Amino acid sequence: MDELIEQRLIPLEPVQTEILVVNSRFIAELEFAGSVEEARAHLARVRERHPTASHNVPAFIIGHGNSIITHCSDDGEPSGTAGRPALAVLQGSGLGNVSVVVTRYYGGTKLGTGGLVRAYGDAVREVLKRVKLATLLPTTTLMFVTPYRLYDQAIRLMEAHHGQVLDTEFFEDITVTVRFKDEEVGAFISQLSNLSAGQIQPVVIEQNPETVFPLG
Q: What pLDDT does residue 65 have?
A: 85
Q: What pLDDT does residue 4 have?
A: 42
Query: Average pLDDT for consecutive 10-residue bins of the chain (216 residues)?
Result: 61 97 97 97 98 98 93 98 98 96 96 97 98 94 97 97 95 96 96 95 94 82
Q: What pLDDT does residue 216 have?
A: 63
Strand partners, 113: none
Q: What pLDDT does residue 6 have?
A: 59
Each domain of the chain, given as residue ranges in start order, spans 2-131, 137-214
Within a 10 A sphere around the Cβ of 142, how many other Cβ atoms? 21
Q: Check: CATH 3.20.10.10 for 137-214?
A: no
Three-state SS sequence of 110-174: CCHHHHHHHHHHHHHHHHHCCCCEEEEEEEEEEEEEECHHHHHHHHHHHHHCCCEEEEEEECCCE
81, 54 contact by CB (below 8 A)? no
Q: Check: CATH 3.40.50.2300 for 2-131?
A: no
Q: What pLDDT does residue 2 have?
A: 40
Q: What pLDDT does residue 5 have?
A: 38
Same fold for the pair 2-131 and 137-214? no
214, 134 contact by CB (below 8 A)? yes
